[in-house]
Amino acid sequence: MSRNDEVAEEVSDCFERRSSEAKRKSPQNFPKPDDNLMTSMNSANNEHKTRTNGDNEDLEPGNLLHADHKPRLLLMGLKRSGKSSISNVVFRKMAPHETLFLETTTTIRKEAMHSFMDFQVWDLPGQIDYLDPDFDAESIFGGVGAMIWVLDAIDNYMEPVSRLTETILHLQHSYPDIKYSVFIHKVDSLTEDFRDDTMRDVRQRITDDLYDAGLENPPITYYGTSIYDHSIFEAFSKVMQGLVPQLPTFEALLNTVSANCRFEKAYLFDVYSKVYIASDTTPVDMKAYELCADLIDIIVDMSEVYGWDRGQDQQETDRSQAVAAPSAESFVSNIKGYHLYLKEINRSALRAQVRQGFRLTIYRNLSFIGISKYSDFEISKVLVDQNMQAFQDTLLKVFPRG
C-alpha cells in the first residue's frame, strides 16, 4: 500500500506544521466569521457530544477489539453475497474486477476508517452461524451501531431474507439500538425493471415476516448497490451518516457555507474511502456526488505523484509558508459551466508500529467539496477562506482532538 504511506507522509508533515501555526496565530487574527456561521457554531457547541481520539493509539488488530468506543458497523449476509468485495472496494481501493479472485472469508476482517471520528467496519464470514446459543454474541454485537445485510440480488433471496429476519428478531431484545440496512447487491446484473421489482419484493417480504413475528416498523433502510459503480459508496455514505450524532450540525454548517459562498451543493467527504459524511440539505443529486468522487480520485493520484519529500531545504521553505498554505485545496474550473472547489479540513496522521516491522500508517483526511456555478469564486476567495476557517474551527470544537 505504497499510496497510503506516501499520502500519509505528506499528511503527517502537514499536521506538524499546522500545530506550530496554531501556536503562532493569536485568536484576534482569525478572520471574523460570518454572523450566520457564528450562530451555527454556538448551536454546535451546545449539542456537543464529544468523543476524543487518541492520536498515538496503537492500531494493532488486538487493540481494535478492545476499542469499544468506536462505532462498529457489521457486514453480514450469506456466503458469496459480496461482503468482502464491498469492504475491499471501499476501504482498500481494490478494482471491482479483482474481487472475482476473493476467497471465502473464514475469520472476522476489520477495517478502520479514520476521519473526524473513527469507525470500524467488520466483514463477517457468511459461513458462521451467529445465532448459535454457544456463540459469544456480545463480542460481536456489543457496541454495534449499524448492521449492513448484504443480499445477493441475482441469487434466490428466500434464504437470506429469512436469515435476516431471524437475526433481527434474535438481536432485538439484547441490542435494540442497532440500525439495519439491507444492500440489495449486484444490481448491475439486473435490468432496470427487474431491479425495481426485486427491491420491492425483498422489502415486502422482510416487512411481512417481521410483522408476523410482532415487530412493526423495524429500523431498516434499503439500498440497491453494486461495486461496479458509485452506488456502493453512496449507500455506505448514508449508513455512516446514520452513525454521526452531529449530522444536523454538519448540515446546518454546510447550509451556511453554501449560502455564503454561493455553492450549489456542499459536501464533507472522507477522502480515502470517498464516503461523504454530510451534505447541505438541498436535494442530493447522484451525479453531483459522482462528480465529487471522481474529483477526489484524480486529486489523490496527482498528489501522490508530486507529494514526495523534497528534502530538508524544501521543508525549510515549506515551514515559512505554512501560514499561506495550511492545508491542500483544489479548483477545477468550467466543467460545462460548473466549478469545483475542494478544501482539506484537517490533516493529521497516526502512525503505529506493527509487529513485523512494517509501518502501518493511518490518516485522517476530511475534505469540504463545493460545487458552484460562478467562475469568480476565486475572486471572492477571501470570503471562501473566511468561511472555511470558521467551518474548520467549528468542526474542531465539535470534535476536539485528544
Partner 1 sequence: MNSLKKPQKKKVLLMGKSGSGKSSMRSIIFSNYVAKDVRRLGATIDVEHSTVKFLGSLILNLWDCGGQDAFTETYLTSQKSQTFSDVGVLIYVFDVESRSFEGSNPRDLLTYTAVISALAEYSPSAHVFALVHKIDLVQNVFRDSVIQDRTLAIQEYSGVFSKKLKVYGTTIWDQSLYKAWGDIVKSLVPNLHIIDGYLHDLAEETSAEEIILFERATFLTVTNVTSELGERNPYSDRQERLSNVIKTFKHSLSKYTHSSTASHPFSEIAIKAPRFNLILARLTNNTYVLVILPPGDLEIELSRFNIMAAKDRFVELDIMGWAAGDTERLEGKLNGRIKDGR
The residue ranges that bind ligand GTP (CB under 6 A) are: 77, 79-85, 99-100, 102, 104-105, 125-127, 185-186, 188-189, 226-228
**With respect to Mg ion, which residue has the nearer C-beta, 105 or 327?**
105
Nearest CA-CA partner of 92 in 292, 274, 295? 274
Question: What residues form DSSP beta bridges with 112?
Answer: 120
DSSP tag of 68: T
The site partner of 186 among Mg ion, ligand GTP, partner 1, none (C-beta below 5 to 8 Å per kind) is: ligand GTP
Return the residue nearest ligand GTP (CB atom).
126
Q: According to the binding rule CB under 5 A, does residue 372 interact with Mg ion? A: no
Contact characters 323-342, partner 1, x per CB under 8 A: -xx-xxxxxxxxxx------
Write b or e for each residue in 188-226: b if 16 or more Cβ atoms lie within 10 A of its Cβ, otherwise e.
bebeeeebeebbeebeebbbebbeeeeeeebebebbbbb
Distance CA 345, CA 326 (A): 10
The answer to whether residues 272 and 11 touch, using CB atoms and an 8 Å cutoff, is: no
Interface residue with Mg ion, options 40, 84, 231, 394 (CB under 5 A): 84
Q: Provide CB contacts within 8 A for 218, sequence distance 6+.
A: 168, 180, 206, 207, 210
Q: According to the binding rule CB under 5 A, does residue 105 interact with Mg ion? A: yes
Interface residue with partner 1, options 22, 131, 154, 298 (CB under 8 A): 298
The answer to whether residues 18 and 327 touch, using CB atoms and an 8 Å cutoff, is: yes
**With respect to ligand GTP, which residue has the nearer C-beta, 67 or 128?**
128
Interface residue with partner 1, options 156, 192, 306, 356 (CB under 8 A): 306
Q: Provide CB contacts within 8 A for 293, sequence distance 6+.
A: 230, 233, 274
Q: According to the binding rule CB under 8 A, does residue 297 interact with partner 1? A: yes
Query: What are phi and psi for residue 237, nearest 5 degrees?
Result: -55, -45
Amino acid letter for position 400:
P
**With respect to ligand GTP, which residue has the nearer C-beta, 189 or 314?**
189
Distance CA 212, CA 229 (A): 36
Question: What residues form DSSP beta bridges with 74?
Answer: 122, 147
The site partner of 367 among partner 1, Mg ion, ligand GTP, none (C-beta below 5 to 8 Å per kind) is: none
- CB of 237 vs ligand GTP, minimal distance in Å: 16
**With respect to Mg ion, which residue has the nearer C-beta, 226 or 394?**
226
SS3 176: coil
The site partner of 85 among Mg ion, partner 1, ligand GTP, none (C-beta below 5 to 8 Å per kind) is: ligand GTP
Interface residue with partner 1, options 305, 312, 356, 382 (CB under 8 A): 305
**With respect to ligand GTP, which residue has the nearer C-beta, 2 or 107?**
107
The residues that touch Mg ion, with contacts defined as CB under 5 A, are 83-84, 105
The residues that touch partner 1, with contacts defined as CB under 8 A, are 10, 13-14, 17, 97, 287, 290-291, 294-295, 297-299, 301-310, 314, 317-318, 321-322, 324-325, 327-336
